[in-house]
Chain A
Amino acid sequence: MQKSIKKYFALFALPTILAFLIAFIIPFILGIYLSFTEFTTVNDAKWIGLKNYVRAFSNQEFLDALWFTVKFTIVSVITINVFAFLLGLLLTRGKKGTNLFRTIFFMPNLIGGIVLGYIWQLIINGVLIKFDLTLTSSATYGFWGLVVLMNWQLIGYMMIIYIAGIQNVPKDLMEAAQIDGANRFRILRSVTLPMVMPSITICLFLSLSNSFKLFDQNLALTAGAPAKETSMLALDIYNTFYGRTGWEGVGQAKAVVFFVLVALIALVQLVITRRKEVEN
C-alpha cells in the first residue's frame, strides 16, 4: 500500500496541485503584486510602492469596517458555538426525533448566503415595520440581524461537528466518572469538554474565519446601510475596488491586509485551542 501511494503520488496529486495553482497561488501572488500598483483593470498596472497601503489605513471607512467586523465576529463566534454545543449535547441523548431535529437544524446551511440575506431582510423588515422602522433605521438592527442570520446558518453545521465529537467520548470514561460520584455538570466540565476539544478547535476556526470573511449575507441583508455603518471588511473591499474609480489598488491593498488578519487570527486560535486538546 505504502509503496503504491508513492508510485502514483504524482498522478493523484497533480490535478489538485494544478487546480490549486490556477485558482489560488497564481491569483494570490498577482493580487499581492497589484496591491503595490495603480490600475483601472488588472492589465495596465503601474508600480507605486506602498502608497495604496497608506491610503487604505488613512481611510476611515476601512477602520470602521474593521471595528464592525471585529465586534460582529466576537459576538457571533460566542453565540454560534454556545448554541451549537448545547444543541449537540441535547441531540446525543437518544431522545425521540433526534435525527429529524438534526436534519432540521442543519438545513439552513444548505441555502446560499444571498438567499439567506434576502429571506432575513424580509423577516426582519416585516417585524420592524410594526414599529415604523426598517433595517436601515439604525446600525444596531443591521448588526443584530447579521448575528441572527449567521447563527441561523452556522449553528446546524457546528452542531454536527460537536455531535461527532460528543459521540466519540469513550463510554467507559463516562461510567467511571459516574461511579466516582461526579454529577452531570462535573462530567461535562471534566470529561466531555476536554474530550471534544478537537471539535471545538475546528468549530472555532470555522466560525471565526467565516464570520470574518462574511460577504454575501452582508450584501444582501443591509448592503452597508445606513451610510456604510454596517459594512464589513469584505464588503468594504468590494466597494472600494469596484465602486470607486482610482481606488482599485487601495482595494487590493485592503484585501492583502484582510488576508494577513484572517490568517493571523486563525493561526493564533488554532495554536491556543490545540494546546488544550488531550490525547484520546
Chain B
Amino acid sequence: MKMKKWLTLMLSMTLLAGLAVGCGNKEETNTGTNGTTGKTAKEEIYFLNFKPEIAETYDKIAKDYEAETGVKVKVVTAASGTYEPTLKAEIAKSDAPTIFQINGPVGYQSWKDYTLDLKDTKLYSYLTDNSLAVKDGEGVYGIPYVVEGYGIIYNDAIMKKYFALADKAVPYASVAEVNTFDKLKAVVEDMTAKKDQLGIKGVFSSTSLGAGEQWRWQSHLANLPLFYEFKDNTSVKDPVQAGLQSNEITFKYGKNFQNIFDLYTNNSVTKKTLLGSKTVADSMAEFALGQSAMVQNGNWGWSQINGVDGNVVKAEDVKFMPIYTGVAGEEKQGLAIGTENYFAVNSKVSAEKQKASIAFLEWLFSSEKGKKYVSGELGFIAPFNTFKEEERPADPLAKEVSSWMSKGLNTVPWTFAAFPSEEFKNSFGSALLQYVQGGLQWADVEKAVIDSWKSEKAK
C-alpha cells in the first residue's frame, strides 16, 4: 500500500514538474530577448519557405545573415504541396511568419488581411518590371523574386542519336526543326517505335498523377489551353486579368490539351494504368538516368536531375523545347515564363520585425553575398535590376530560359495565376487520372473542368 501511495505521489510530482518546466522555459526565452533589445535590437525574422528543394540553401543563408548582422532568421519549410495549410496554421500563432509567400492575385485575395504594403521599400524599386508585382489599388502587396520557365526538357544526346538514325521516319535533321505539335508527334511516335535502338524505356518520363504530384498537368499544362482561350478574349488585354474576370470558361482548346497529354501518356516509360502511383521525383529520376528522352518540367528541375545518383545526363545535353499542342501559329510560341512566387511581409507582426524582414530581403537580393546565393545556389533568375548580366544563374536550364526569352518568340505567361482555387486544380488533376485509367472519357474531363471553374468562381 505504501509503495502505491509513493508511486502516485511521485507520478503527480513529475507531472507538475513537467508543467513547471514548460512554463519556466518560456520565461527564459522572454527575458533572453528582452535583455538584448537595449543594445542591438535582436529581432527574429521568421521566413516560411515555399520550395522544399532549396530548403538547405535557405538554412545556410540564415546562418550567414545572422553572422553578418546579428539578426536571427528562422527558416521553416513546408513539405511539398502543403504550403497553404502550413501558412494557415503558422500565421495564427503568436510567433507568426514575418515573411511568407503568396501565389499571385488569387493567393493575395485570401491573405490580404496579412500582407503589408511594400510600395515604399527598396525591394520594390529593384524590380526590373514593376508590373510584375501583385498590386491592389495604390498598394504593392507581393513582390516576385524569381522568374521561371517551363517547357519540355529534352536530352540532346538521345535526340542527336535519333536524328542520326538511317531509318528514321521523319524528314527533320534536328530538334530545332520540330516546332509544331504535328512534327513533335511524328518524331515522338517514331522514337517510341525505335526505343530499343535508342536505349530508352520510353520517350516521355512518367506523367505523375499521384496525390499532390499533379501540378505539372493541372497547373502548368493546363496553362496553355486556357492562355489561348483568355487571349481570344479581346476585350481584356492581359490574359491573366481576362482569366480573373471570367466567371465561366468554355475550355475551347481542350482538344489541344488532350493532344499533348495523350502524346505524353502513350509514349511514356510507364503504362497508363500505373501513373496514379508516380511522383514528380520518379519522372525526374527517369530522365536523369537516361530512361526517357523528354520530361515536362521547369528550370527548377535542374537540381533534381543533377542530384540523382548515377545520373547519366550531361549538363550540356539538357535543353528546353516549348510545349506544342497544335494551336494555329504555335511555331512562334516560346516557353512558358512567369512567376507564382511573391514575397509578402506579415502586416500583423511588430513594426521592428517588419523592418527587419524587409532588410533581410533587400540584403538577399542586393548584397554581394546574397546575390551569390540567389544565382549560384538557389538558381533563381531574379527579376531585379541589382543583378548584372554575369550574375545570372549558371545552370543549363536557367540559361536555356534566358536564351529562349531572347529568341523573339511569344512567351506564354503564367495564366494559371488566375485559376480560381486549389480545388479547381485538384479536380482537374483527378479527372485526368481517371481519364488515363479509362474511367472517364475526354468529354467528361472537359465537362469537369468547365463545371469546376464555374462552381469555384461562384462561391
Q: Which residues does A use to contact B, with CB under 8 Å?
A: 1, 11-12, 15, 18, 40-44, 125, 129, 132-138, 222-228, 242-246, 248
* A134, B84: Cβ atoms closer than 8 Å: no
* B433, A244: Cβ atoms closer than 8 Å: no
Extra contacts, 8 of them, besides A11-B12, A133-B274, A227-B431 (Cβ < 8 A), are: A18-B19, A41-B91, A41-B92, A135-B276, A222-B211, A223-B211, A226-B439, A245-B110
B212 in contact (CB, < 8 A):
yes
Bound together, the chains give a CA A242 to CA B78 distance in angstroms of: 13
* A125, B85: Cβ atoms closer than 8 Å: no
9 pairs of A and B residues whose beta carbons are closest in the complex = A136-B276, A242-B85, A223-B211, A227-B430, A41-B92, A245-B110, A134-B277, A15-B15, A134-B276
Interface size grouping (class) on chain B = 35 or more
A227 contacts across to B, CB distance below 8 A: 427, 430-431, 433-434
B419 to chain A, nearest CB (A): 12
A193 to chain B, nearest CB (A): 35
* A244, B111: Cβ atoms closer than 8 Å: no
A125 contacts across to B, CB distance below 8 A: 277
B426 contacts across to A, CB distance below 8 A: 243
**CB-nearest residue of chain A relative to B275?**
A134
Q: A137-B273, A137-B437 are in contact. Are A243 and B427 (CB under 8 A)?
A: no
B37 in contact (CB, < 8 A):
no
**CB-nearest residue of chain A relative to B94?**
A43
Bound together, the chains give a CA A138 to CA B433 distance in angstroms of: 11
B39 in contact (CB, < 8 A):
no
Which of these, B274, B275, B421, B439, contacts A245 with CB under 8 Å? B421
* B111, A226: Cβ atoms closer than 8 Å: no
Which of these, B89, B273, B433, B459, contacts A133 with CB under 8 Å? B273
B113 contacts across to A, CB distance below 8 A: 40, 44
**CB-nearest residue of chain B relative to A132?**
B273
A224 contacts across to B, CB distance below 8 A: 211
A215 to chain B, nearest CB (A): 14
Bound together, the chains give a CA A227 to CA B84 distance in angstroms of: 20
**CB-nearest residue of chain B relative to A22?**
B19
**CB-nearest residue of chain B relative to A245?**
B110
B271 in contact (CB, < 8 A):
yes
Bound together, the chains give a CA A225 to CA B109 distance in angstroms of: 29
Bound together, the chains give a CA A51 to CA B433 distance in angstroms of: 33
Within 8 A of A (CB), among B66-91: 84-85, 88-89, 91
Q: Which residues does B use to contact A, with CB under 8 Å?
A: 1, 8, 12, 15-16, 19, 84-85, 88-89, 91-92, 109-111, 113-114, 209-212, 271, 273-277, 421-423, 426-427, 430-431, 433-434, 437, 439, 459
Bound together, the chains give a CA A42 to CA B16 distance in angstroms of: 30
Q: A15-B16, A137-B276, A225-B211 are in contact. Are A243 and B85 (CB under 8 A)?
A: yes
* A225, B85: Cβ atoms closer than 8 Å: no
A242 contacts across to B, CB distance below 8 A: 84-85, 88-89
B422 contacts across to A, CB distance below 8 A: 243-245
Bound together, the chains give a CA A52 to CA B273 distance in angstroms of: 39
* A136, B421: Cβ atoms closer than 8 Å: no
Which of these, B15, B85, B277, contacts A136 with CB under 8 Å? B277
Bound together, the chains give a CA A61 to CA B31 distance in angstroms of: 49
Which of these, B84, B209, B434, contacts A243 with CB under 8 Å? B84
**CB-nearest residue of chain A relative to B426?**
A243
Which of these, A15, A132, A222, A243, contacts B271 with CB under 8 Å? A132
* B459, A136: Cβ atoms closer than 8 Å: no
B16 contacts across to A, CB distance below 8 A: 15
* B110, A40: Cβ atoms closer than 8 Å: yes
* A136, B88: Cβ atoms closer than 8 Å: no
A134 contacts across to B, CB distance below 8 A: 273-277
B211 contacts across to A, CB distance below 8 A: 222-225
Q: A223-B212, A242-B85, A243-B422 are in contact. Are A40 and B12 (CB under 8 A)?
A: no
B274 contacts across to A, CB distance below 8 A: 129, 132-134
A132 contacts across to B, CB distance below 8 A: 271, 273-274
25 contacts between A and B (CB under 8 A): A18-B19, A40-B110, A42-B92, A125-B277, A132-B273, A133-B274, A134-B276, A136-B276, A136-B433, A136-B437, A137-B276, A138-B439, A223-B211, A225-B211, A225-B276, A225-B430, A225-B433, A226-B430, A227-B433, A242-B84, A243-B423, A243-B426, A244-B421, A245-B421, A248-B88
A136 contacts across to B, CB distance below 8 A: 209-210, 276-277, 433, 437
B92 contacts across to A, CB distance below 8 A: 41-43
* A226, B8: Cβ atoms closer than 8 Å: no
* A40, B437: Cβ atoms closer than 8 Å: no
* B277, A226: Cβ atoms closer than 8 Å: no
Which of these, B19, B85, B271, B276, contacts A226 with CB under 8 Å? B276
A131 to chain B, nearest CB (A): 9
Bound together, the chains give a CA A132 to CA B272 distance in angstroms of: 9
**CB-nearest residue of chain B relative to A129?**
B274
* A12, B276: Cβ atoms closer than 8 Å: no
* A246, B437: Cβ atoms closer than 8 Å: no
A44 contacts across to B, CB distance below 8 A: 113
Bound together, the chains give a CA A226 to CA B275 distance in angstroms of: 12
A222 contacts across to B, CB distance below 8 A: 211
* A226, B423: Cβ atoms closer than 8 Å: no
Bound together, the chains give a CA A133 to CA B114 distance in angstroms of: 45
**CB-nearest residue of chain A relative to B12?**
A12
B62 to chain A, nearest CB (A): 25
Bound together, the chains give a CA A224 to CA B433 distance in angstroms of: 13
* A15, B273: Cβ atoms closer than 8 Å: no
A135 contacts across to B, CB distance below 8 A: 276-277
A253 to chain B, nearest CB (A): 15
A248 contacts across to B, CB distance below 8 A: 88
B1 contacts across to A, CB distance below 8 A: 1
* A40, B111: Cβ atoms closer than 8 Å: yes
A41 contacts across to B, CB distance below 8 A: 88, 91-92
**CB-nearest residue of chain A relative to B1?**
A1
Bound together, the chains give a CA A248 to CA B87 distance in angstroms of: 13
B428 to chain A, nearest CB (A): 11
B89 contacts across to A, CB distance below 8 A: 242
* B12, A226: Cβ atoms closer than 8 Å: no
**CB-nearest residue of chain B relative to A41?**
B92
Bound together, the chains give a CA A243 to CA B275 distance in angstroms of: 23
A14 to chain B, nearest CB (A): 8
* A40, B434: Cβ atoms closer than 8 Å: no
Bound together, the chains give a CA A243 to CA B271 distance in angstroms of: 30
**CB-nearest residue of chain A relative to B18?**
A15
A246 contacts across to B, CB distance below 8 A: 110, 459
B83 to chain A, nearest CB (A): 10
B56 to chain A, nearest CB (A): 24
**CB-nearest residue of chain B relative to A42?**
B92
